[in-house]
Homo-oligomer: A and B are copies of this chain.
Amino acid sequence: MRPRLFTITVTPRFGDVDAFRHVNNACLPAWFELGRMPLYVLFRPDMDFDLWNLVLAHLSVDFHTPMALGYDVEIRTYVSRVGTSSFTSYQEAWQRGKLCASGEAVVVHHDAIEKRSLPIPSELRTALLEHVKPEA
């Protein structure tokens, strides 16, 4: 099966830039969050926030190269792990042909009413595995 890639384009806003004239590091989690939306929609196609069944447990970002204002940034989103009731995304931010930042997020499938973790159904597991990053 051909792996499918979720990609979004982010245009840095003037306020995203900090005193170093680079994109502020704290922006990356927001950009990666936007890039994960298609994964979230797999779990909740109706986007009903009152019945939302995913919770972010952990995020990390590695910063490789500063990003500048004036050039779009491509956010590429992969799935790096699918567990019993949680999965991990792996994401990259590219600007002008350079990998500028990468990050992971651990997302837990849970019951919005009972407030406890829930196994990921097999059809969603299959859907997530379609987004695993191919070997280089």
Contact = CB atoms under 8 A, between A and B. Distances in A.
Nearest to A16: B15
Nearest to A55: B63
Contact of A15 (B27, B58, B59, B61): B27
Oligomer: number of copies: 4
A11 B10 contact: yes
Nearest to A66: B55
B15 A33 contact: yes
Size bracket, chain A contacts: 35 or more
Given A15-B27, A57-B62, A49 B34 contact: no
Contacts of A80: none
Contacts of A63: 55-58
A124 interface: no
A113 to B, nearest CB: 14
The 3 lowest CB-CB distance pairs between A and B, nearest first, are A60-B60, A26-B30, A26-B29
Interface of A: 8-11, 13-21, 24-31, 33-34, 37, 47, 49, 52, 55-63, 69-70
16 contacts: A13-B33, A14-B19, A14-B30, A14-B34, A15-B24, A15-B26, A15-B30, A19-B69, A20-B49, A20-B52, A21-B49, A28-B29, A56-B63, A57-B62, A57-B63, A58-B61
